[in-house]
Structure 1
Amino acid sequence: MAEISVALAASHAPGLTGWFGKAPEEDRRTVRAAYGAIRDAIVNSRTDVLLIIGNDHVANARVSDYADFSFGIADRHTGPDEWFKPWLRVDDYDLPGAPEVGRTLHDSVQATGLRTRAVRDNLRFDDNISVPVAMADLTSTSVALVPVLQNCTVPPVPKERACYAFGEALGAAIRTQLPGDLRVGLLGSGGLSHEPGGPRYLEIDEKFDRWWLDLLVEGDHSRILAEATFERMEEAGSGGTAELLSWLVVMGAIGQRPCTSLGYVAVEEWRCGVGAVQWQL
């Protein structure tokens, strides 16, 4: 059986790269340390293939034909997409893909009933993939990438329990359908509280963010699913906070266990609460 080698999650706000210098130095140190720990965890776990699960900002499909989960199965993954370069301000990157892994996992989760697709062409990446690639310096590692972009905004959105169940199916597929010597890492990319372009654009719900992180550290998945609902995420920042559904996919894949917080900051200039965690496998 293949093994889940590492399980992580982190925020991916464009301010982390485009406006990084606007934050106080202490907050910048916290974020550098968190993403440094993510890179170390990926390298030290000898991960072969990294699945980055992040939301699609309606950049890869029409809203009238919008998949719940899109698996990138290109031979190589390049970014950031040209349109997003001016505000992301990250170097161009080129990472090897793992198309057979992506295809196998896509085909194996069909019983969930969610709308999925496997995309052979290079997907358009904005901060969802570009920020973790840049901040964790993934181009300097030997890890291959399978991006999994999910719908967090176009109704009907798969909510917390559907995303957790999708993660359970994904974890089972990793363990039973992939080659036995493969080490597969998981990184949920998105959140924390923010409301892009909305009336609360400059607001961060720090109380929600710290409550969410405390729940994850406790590790009670039943309580998380009961209390940290899609609706509660929307209350903390409509159209943005629900990116945390990607973290729930990772949680479903690994099963109930506690995690370690890698840090949290609330920087108004970044327009987003920023945090990261690593689960104890």
Structure 2
Amino acid sequence: MANISLAVAASHAPGLIGMFDQAPRESQQVVSSAYGSLARQIREADLDVIIMVANDHMANNRIREYPDFIVGMAPEHRGPAEFFKDWLACDEYAIPGRPDIAEKILNGLSQRGVRVSATRENLNFDDNISVPVVKTEIEASGVPIIPILQNVTVPPFPDQHRCYEIGRQLADLIENDLPSDLRVGLFATGGMSHEPGGVRDFWIDEDFDNWFLGLLANGDHDKVLAEVTLQRLEEAGSGGTGELLSWILVMGAIGERHCNVLGYTAWDKWRCGIGAVSWDMTSAPAGR
């Protein structure tokens, strides 16, 4: 059976590339250390594919026809999208895809009742996929990716309970529907607290971010699901902090495992709290 060999999560603010050199040295060191650890873990995991769960910034769907998730099935994933190149300020990249696996994910999620669509065309990637790809040097690793872009902007969208359940369904799909011996990595990217374009555009809720990371480090998923509500996410940054739902989806896929917080920093010009975590996949999850 296929298995989840790596599970990580990290923020994806565009300033992590375009404004990195302008940030305070301490913030630069935190980001370099955290993303460097993620890059090392990806290299050492000997993965066959990475499923990247990120949010769609309304660049790939019409607002009146917005699926909960869209799966990228292209044979090659290229970015960043033309409209985002100047802002992101990173080189172009091209990562191989796995259309065969992406098709199984699409069909498997659909059969399990998830509201999901897909495209064989290249998706428009902004910082959602571009930042983690560039900062962890996935292109150099040669590991194929399958992007799954999530709606956390146009209501109604799945809340924390539903995202966690979809994560469990994704794990069941990986175990039972994908080729045997396939080594799969899960990479959630989004958040942390921010309110893009809102009245609190430069405000970062550091108390919320540290509280959330503490919950993950504690490993009590029931507490996460009870307390990290859509309302609480909205209070920590309207229209942005909800991106952390991708982290909760990955948590559902892997169960209660030890979570290692790789770092956290907040610099207002990045307009987003920046954090990263990895989960220990070497032992069985609690309660399973």
Fold match (TM-score > 0.5): yes
1:42-61 matches, cutoff 5 A: 42-61=42-61
CA contact under 8 A between 1:73 and 1:99: conserved in structure 2? yes
Per-residue deviation, 1:181: 1.6
Separation in 2, partners of 1:254, 1:264: 22
Is residue 180 of structure 2 the alignment partner of residue 173 of structure 1?
no
Q: CA RMSD in A?
A: 0.8
Partner of 2:220: 220
Amino acid at match of 2:74: A
Separation in 2, partners of 1:101, 1:84: 28
Partner of 1:200: 200
- Identity rate, percent: 52
Matched residue SS, 2:198: coil
Q: Output the TM-score relative to the length of structure 1.
A: 0.98
| Number of aligned residue pairs | 281
Amino acid at match of 1:233: L
Per-residue deviation, 1:110: 1.9
Per-residue deviation, 1:178: 0.8
Partner of 2:189: 189
Structure 1 residues without counterparts, runs of 5 or longer: none
Is residue 81 of structure 2 the alignment partner of residue 71 of structure 1?
no
Partner of 1:106: 106
Partner of 1:258: 258
Separation in 1, partners of 2:198, 2:39: 33
Separation in 1, partners of 2:229, 2:112: 19
Which segment is superposed worse, 45-54 or 18-27? Answer: 18-27
Partner of 2:6: 6
CA contact under 8 A between 1:15 and 1:88: conserved in structure 2? yes
Matched residue SS, 2:64: helix
Which segment is superposed worse, 174-183 or 3-12? Answer: 174-183
Per-residue deviation, 1:258: 2.3
Separation in 2, partners of 1:109, 1:263: 32
Matched residue SS, 1:64: coil
Partner of 2:128: 128
Separation in 2, partners of 1:57, 1:65: 14
Separation in 1, partners of 2:112, 2:145: 23
Separation in 1, partners of 2:213, 2:102: 29
Separation in 2, partners of 1:128, 1:90: 13
Partner of 1:90: 90
Which segment is superposed worse, 20-29 or 232-241? Answer: 20-29
Matched residue SS, 1:109: helix
Separation in 2, partners of 1:14, 1:187: 17
CA contact under 8 A between 1:193 and 1:241: conserved in structure 2? yes
Deviations 1:161-215 (A, max 9, x none): 1111111101110111111121000000000000000011010000000000000
Separation in 1, partners of 2:45, 2:137: 16
Amino acid at match of 1:191: G
Per-residue deviation, 1:111: 4.2
